Structure 1
Amino acid sequence: MTTVSPWLVLAGLGAFHGLNPAMGWLFAVALGLHRQSRAVVLKSLIPIAAGHMISIAAVALAVVALGLFVEQRVLEAAAGAALIVWAGYHAAYGHRRRVRVGMKTGMLGLGVWSFVMATAHGAGLMLVPVIIPLCFSANPAGELTAAGSLPVALAAVGMHTAAMLAVTLAISVSVYEWLGLSLLRRGWINFDLLWAAALAITGVVLIF
């Protein structure tokens, strides 16, 4: 975990979030089609990325703060338990707790929606298994310090958000310009099920 691999994991998770319609690209395309403007599609990506970034940054900062007082093993076990609980909740109730935002919403409303959706999906929690070893490896003594860990945590958030935004941008423009929303009627991957399984598996690995 001291090589480039954690950063690739962060980018991969960001790409997965960008691919998931529930994380924003579907909303951006729908807004663009409703207002008949590609510019709206592109503008929508800014609050979508911002809301997502604030959600995961809050979790990353909480991990750094807890790490100043809690041992790494305890922190990992607690994060693992939280992931398993969140996976169960998401699998059982996540599809019933959709955030309702209309097509007339502004950029601020879209940003709030993105924040709530990322939080509800446990997007920040999924980064914890990567952020913890990155922050500890950034300190030669093997202990977390605010000065050493905060830049690493923020860089992790930036890497994840950049990958998510890049994929969201590519899909949004492709669907708006060429593919159309009919592709969703022909079949689509159940990202919610995959995400719940990934949360649970990661939680078990962290604990054991």
Structure 2
Amino acid sequence: MTALWPWLSLAGLGAFHGVNPAMGWLFAVALGLHRQNRKVVWLSIVPIALGHALSVAAVLAAAVAFGTVLDPSAFRLAAAVFILGVAVYTAFYGHRHRFRIGMRTGLAGLGLWSFLTATSHGAGLMLLPAVLSLCLAEHAGDLAMANSLPVSLAAIAVHSGAMLIVTAALSLAVFTWFDLALLRSAWINFDRLWTLALGATGIALLVQ
């Protein structure tokens, strides 16, 4: 059961990222409504999920690379301080960094937007406690690149799969039954939730 929790955490974070409208489902719905085409919603989900997955992969690759040259305890501390710093910055200045693209964007532009948005929001950083836990448990404290790569790839697949499922379900549900008018009466401040999640990630690394 202990070995299962990191995987459940990765899937749960994927669902959380999928629910967050800033990660893409809101844009997919807007594009579908703008072009009056359900197929556009389906097509938009793919580059959104792919851009998100590439952003997470880049963060995890950087983390493993740094982890191979640092003592695990020192790396945890450095990563925790960095993530908490990002959380504080996001709380005060995150709203200033919004990547905007028009309704005529293609699939490549949508994928690039998703990559930049996920990266600027620190989406991949939230996965660090779970991935580090899996890598260290699997390889007895060794964060060598070759050993950590399969675990990291599996973690990206689980996280991205959960995010894709939730994003697709929300996009199609809102497009089919509710449209964007729903957000006027049922809006949640995900920016605040996101900042709290980043802070919780940093704290989790400190006590891990």
Where on the TM-score scale, by shorter chain, does this alignment land: which range?
A: over 0.9
Counterpart residue number, 1:81: 81
Unpaired runs of 5+ residues, structure 2, are none
Counterpart residue number, 1:96: 96
Task: Report the Cα offset of residue 2 of structure 1.
Answer: 4.7
Give the residue type in structure 1 aligned to 2:184: R
Task: Report the Cα offset of residue 3 of structure 1.
Answer: 1.2
Counterpart residue number, 1:56: 56
**TM-score (norm: length of structure 2):** 0.96
1:151 & 1:91 partners in 2: Cα distance?
Answer: 34
Q: 1:128-147, aligned counterparts within 5 Å?
A: 128-140=128-140, 142-147=141-146
Counterpart residue number, 1:110: 110
Unpaired runs of 5+ residues, structure 1, are none
Counterpart residue number, 2:31: 31
Counterpart residue number, 2:151: 152
Give the residue type in structure 1 aligned to 2:107: M
* Identity %, equivalent residues: 57
CA RMSD between the two structures: 1.2
Task: Report the Cα offset of residue 69 of structure 1.
Answer: 1.4
1:89 & 1:191 partners in 2: Cα distance?
Answer: 16
1:202 & 1:111 partners in 2: Cα distance?
Answer: 26
Q: Contact 2:129/2:204 (CA < 8 Å) preserved in 1?
A: no
Q: Which string of whole-angstrom CA distances, capped at 9 and with x for unpartnered residues, describes residues 40-62 of structure 1?
A: 10000111011100100001111
Counterpart residue number, 1:186: 185
Give the residue type in structure 1 aligned to 2:77: A
Counterpart residue number, 1:163: 162
* 3-state SS, counterpart of residue 27 of structure 1: helix
Give the residue type in structure 1 aligned to 2:47: P
